[in-house]
Amino acid sequence: MKYTVLIEKDQDGYYVADVPELPGCHTQAKNLNDLNKRIKEAISVYLEARKTNKSYKKHLVEFLGVQIVDA
């Protein structure tokens, strides 16, 4: 299955990845190669936990996109 991953770079230079469809599924790393490995692992762990804990299913959301707003 494919998931949307949002990636940001924080003030300390770490890359931070978040999966909007899986609330609470996120990780960070110093480089993008490590970040890619870690987010795949985080998704795998999240999905495994969801299998054993039915409360995870009610928290799933659908990612629709990113919008730039002029404020």
Measure the CA–CA gap between 52 and 30, rounded to whole angstroms. Answer: 31
What pLDDT score was predicted for residue 70? 92
Measure the CA–CA gap between 70 and 53, rounded to whole angstroms. Answer: 41
Task: Give the tens place of pLDDT for each residue, 10-68.
Answer: 999 999 999 999 989 999 999 999 999 999 999 999 999 888 876 665 566 788 888 88
What pLDDT score was predicted for residue 56? 60
Please answer whether residues 38 and 45 qualify as being in contact, where contact means their C-beta atoms are separated by less than 8 angstroms. no
pTM of the model: 0.81
Q: How many CB atoms neighbour CB 4 within 10 A?
A: 14
List the domains of the chain with CATH numbers.
6-59 (3.30.160.250)
